[in-house]
Structures are given as C-alpha cells and as structure tokens.
Structure 1
C-alpha cells in the first residue's frame, strides 16, 4: 500500500497542503475546527511523519544506537544480551525512537561506527556496554558531542550518566551463602580481565573471601563461551586440590561446567557446588537446576534506554541503580563434602 502523503490528506480534507502542514505541525494559521478535521483524516489514512524529514527540521534522528563489540557468532548463545536488548526495546515501546544495533569486530571499529553515526545523523545518542578501564569510547563520544549512557559503573563522571547493577552486593551474598554451607575452597570463573565489571566483581570477590576466611579463593579468566567455561572447570576439577564450589560470571559457562562434572563422574552438589550468574532459563532446564544470581537485566536495559532518551530530550540525569540482584538457590549447591 502506498504511504499516505500530505497531498493525500489535503485532497481528502479539501484544503491546501500548507494548511495540512500547519495543522500537523501544530503551528498557527488554521482554525481549531480545521486542525481537528485534518488530524482526524490523517489518522484515518494512517499517516505518520517522516523521520528523515524530522531529522532535517529539528536535528533529531529518532533512534538510539548500541554497538556490541563481540563476535557475531557468540550472540545467539548469550542470554544476557538478548534480555538486555529486550529491556531496551520495552522502554522504547511504540514511541518515535527506535534502536539501531550493530556488531563490531573490535574496539577501534566501534569508535569509528560512532563517528559515522554522528556524521550521518543516524542516532541521537548511544548506549555503551562492556566498559574497559581507560576506555577510549568515553572521550570519543564526549569529543563528538554525542549523548551517551554507560551500562555499568557508577563512574561519577559529569555528563555521562550510568545505569548500574550492584554486583558487589551479589558477590557478597554468594560467598556468604557458600561459607555458611562450609565451603572453604572456591574458584570464580570470570569474564575477560579487561572489562570493568570483571574487575569490580574480582575486587569484591577477593575482599569477601578475606573477610569470610576462605582457605583459597581463585579467579580464572575466560571469554564467556561454553568452551572456555568447560575448559576452566575441567582444569580446576582435576587439579591436586580441587575446589568445593565454583562460581561463574555467566550461566552459559555454568551449564558447560555441569556437563564436565557429569563427564568426570563428579557429583553435583555432593562433590562440588555450582553457582551461575544472571539466571536465564538455561539454569532451570538442566539437572540439577543451577543456583544463580538473578540480576534484573531487562530492567537494566530499560533503565539505560530511559536515561539516554531523557538526556537526548535535554534533561539532566545522573547515575541510577536497578533493583538489587538476588541469589536463587537450587539443586546445584549444597553443603561442602
């Protein structure tokens, strides 16, 4: 079906195209009755303003941007990203703003994407995920004058608001739970070392382990994939002094580790307890079902999108935290052997 135009509305209403433009743009020049009749006809015809034309008139693209700097083939196996995007879309809803999503092969390319988007007026602002220490993106978007919101932090950086989840509290809850069950040797299978959220969790892990008096508390870094999670789990489970509990930075690695334990004839939770992170449906589909930290990921995405939308609209916003994460205990965790 042909997209209705201002000319179509003018013909149906029996007025000039100028009168239609005045009415639809809420400008003076037509009576209230004529304005009401024109907007009613426009609605009946299914007319909607052109986003391209709007961008030319008010400088708005009507879109927010998100670049994911991870291999494209890993995205379908990462429940966190799917739920995050769902939360962003839920916040944007049926409103005028849409989400522009692109996958980048590396960090430098990601910055070039922001420059191109800004030059072409493709987006009004961007969401920054997987923040790194001394992250070049922060200065890059500031130099461009491109509104941005960080998913992570808080950074306390003026003009760059953060949406964040209290991962430190989550780590504390997991280690206190394991300590109460008598565990004294634990290993955390973490994500890439360069990510700021990995460092935040690692610092909280080491601090809590010291406070609770664990005999050993090791951190092993991986790339979040099931292969890396399985490899890390196999290595520590066959070591001379294996841990009595494993904590994972995502649920994909935890599911893979459960398979390794079955393969090695190691009882879960009789010989080793497993605790996952994020609590996607994967944690409930395996046997035993995985204990996990449940983080409000969809809320996280929605909060970040809300902060960015409000920033684009000229509102001054600051760092905001989601509702707290919580530990959900299931069959994969129990008293230390």
Structure 2
C-alpha cells in the first residue's frame, strides 16, 4: 500500500537540506531567511504537498489563517477580466504553503460591499484583506482600518493609508503604447479607458493624455466599464466619428480583441486601416488574427507579493510600499504604420 503519511516540516527540512527551524521561519514568512533559501523551501514544500494543520494553528493562536478578497465589480465583468484569475493564482502560490485560506466575495460597491467587510470581520473569518480596484476618495480604507483588519492595497491610494501597498506604474505601459504608435507615424490616437472612478483606470487615462500631448498627436478618450461589450461599443463610437482615429489604445486585452472584431466586421483591415494595442498580454492575444500588441504585466507576481505583504501585516510588520517592475510593451502584428492617405493628409496639415 502506498505511504499516505502527511508530509511534515521535518520532511521539508530533510529534502531542502536545512534545519526545521529555518523551514518554520520560511513557511511563516519570518525574518532571518534569505529570499533564495525561502523560495527553495517553499518550492520543496509545494513539491512534497506539505500543508499545515490549520485547525490546530487556529485554536492555538486565535487566528482565522484566512485572507479576504472582496471584489467590487459585477460578476459578468469579473468573469471576462483576465487579471483576476492570474492574480488569485499568485495569492494561492503563497497561501498554499503557509497554511492560509483565501476567502473571495463578490459585492456591489457601496453598502453591500461595506457590509461584506463588516461580516468578514465580525465573524472572524479572515485576519486581513487585499483591497483591489482602488477608487478616488476610497472609503474602504477607513472602514477596514476601523474594523481592526490587517490589509494591503493593490496600488497606492491618493489619501492617507495605514496599510502596506503593492504597486506598479499604471501609466508606464500606456505611455509606451502611445510612443510606439507615434513612432509608427500615427497622428490621431484614441484611448478606450476603464471607469474614471477607479484609480488605475484614471491614472492610465492621464498617462495617455500626457503621452499624446508630448507626442503632439490628436487624442480622444471613451470611458467604459472594462468589459468586452463596452469595448465594442466604444469602438463603434470611434469608427462612426466624422474623422476616425488611425489607432486605438485599449485599457485591457478583452476590449482590444472586441475592437478588432468590430473593425473587421466593417471591412477594415488591422493594422492596415487601424492599429490596436491592448493591456495585460493575455494568452489568447497571442493567437488571434492579427496577434495583439499589448502591455505585459505580471498579475500572478502581483498576487504573490500582495499575499506576502498581507501575511507580514497580519504578523505585525510595519507597513511597507512594494514597487513592482514597470510593464513592458510586447509588439505584435496588430500595430503598423497609419493608412497612407491619412499620413499624407497629416503631413500636409503640419506643413500649412
């Protein structure tokens, strides 16, 4: 009969070639372990299938050993958003080897959302939460602080916050996209943006405006809720304009792919007649026709770092602000030079 004995810390230590004490420090995210050794120990623990006795730990220290993720978007938008599955996978990368459980709730922003946080705290279902989709004047920060929960914000809030944050430059990828299109010769570029109430969408929009102004190009913006159907609607609006843009910078890949579909149904050829860029660099974007130029971000890495920061906060560590590498622009087949007639007209206009 196969040995079904549950792996222990001693097994992890033996396989990793370190002491049990060092394994305990690594698994509990305590100081005194180098990043390289910690990663090696976590990898060995995952390979062995090691998991802690959650019930015993909870009873002994009075903690839930759970982190909360309350997503304030409609289920349809969440289902279509490529960010959250990768982000959640990153959280689970960390939680799975440190004995944590991830509690996910979808709530309508406002009263329902606030009651969800209150319920998690009053029932002691979580020790802390990760706050995503930061908003202008985000009242969740004061709410969560008042509930006594540890927390980490995904992005840096505009208002004062007592919590750690994990962030990247929201506008860097958009600036790269605009610069790329301007270098190709585009002089009329549009941006299909996310909701202005969300800080990361607002920062991307501001980055677009700044980059367009710096490049000396005509620009326009259409706001959406990040969904593919709204991306299609925004594309229809832009293509119906008296003078349509020669390039569109979308705030996520699903909207960009929907936009390509709208353009092709109208008989336009991408990128001959219209160049398109996305954001997130999802897998399907590498296989659509034409392949999608997109801004690559590490959503799974965000999840891992957010989970680590939350575990540190729950353990009493001082707040810290973790900056992730800037996004990169991956150039593929959906971008090219603008139509010749448009480029010639722009050149004549500049010469007048």
Could you tell me the TM-score, scaled by structure 2's length?
Answer: 0.79
Match of 2:119 among 113, 116, 121: 116
Q: Is the 8 A contact 1:61 1:121 kept in 2?
A: yes
Match of 2:335 in 1: 333
Match of 1:75 among 70, 73, 78: 78
Paired with 1:141 and 1:262, the residues of 2 have a C-alpha distance of 47
RMSD across aligned C-alpha pairs, in angstroms? 2.1
Which structure: larger Rg?
Answer: 1
Match of 1:195 among 190, 194, 198: 198
Q: Is the 8 A contact 1:189 1:220 kept in 2?
A: yes
Match of 1:145 among 142, 148, 165: 148
The alignment status of 1:163 with 2:161, answered yes or no, reads no
Paired with 1:47 and 1:295, the residues of 2 have a C-alpha distance of 30
Q: Is the 8 A contact 2:134 2:200 kept in 1?
A: yes
Q: CA deviation at 1:327?
A: 0.3
**Aligned with 1:293: secondary structure?**
strand
Match of 1:308 among 294, 310, 327: 310
Match of 2:270 in 1: 268
Match of 1:288 in 2: 290
Structure 1 runs of 4+ off > 3 angstroms?
Answer: 46-57, 154-158
Instruction: Provide, for residues 50-107 of structure 1, a one-character-per-residue CA deviation record: whole Å limited to 9, x for no partner.
Output: 6456434422100000011112233332211111111111122332111111111333
Q: Is the 8 A contact 2:196 2:223 kept in 1?
A: yes
Match of 1:91 among 69, 72, 94: 94
| Contiguous gaps of at least 5 residues in structure 1 | 4-45
Q: Is the 8 A contact 1:88 1:304 kept in 2?
A: yes
Q: CA deviation at 1:250?
A: 0.8
Paired with 1:274 and 1:149, the residues of 2 have a C-alpha distance of 34
Instruction: Provide, for residues 5-35 of structure 1, a one-character-per-residue CA deviation record: whole Å limited to 9, x for no partner.
Output: xxxxxxxxxxxxxxxxxxxxxxxxxxxxxxx
Paired with 1:187 and 1:331, the residues of 2 have a C-alpha distance of 19
Paired with 2:53 and 2:303, the residues of 1 have a C-alpha distance of 27
Paired with 2:161 and 2:289, the residues of 1 have a C-alpha distance of 47
Q: How many residues align?
A: 293
Paired with 1:227 and 1:170, the residues of 2 have a C-alpha distance of 23
Shift in alpha-carbon separation, 1:325–1:178, aligned structure 2, 3 A: same
**Aligned with 2:135: secondary structure?**
coil
Match of 2:30 in 1: none
Q: Is the 8 A contact 1:64 1:126 kept in 2?
A: yes
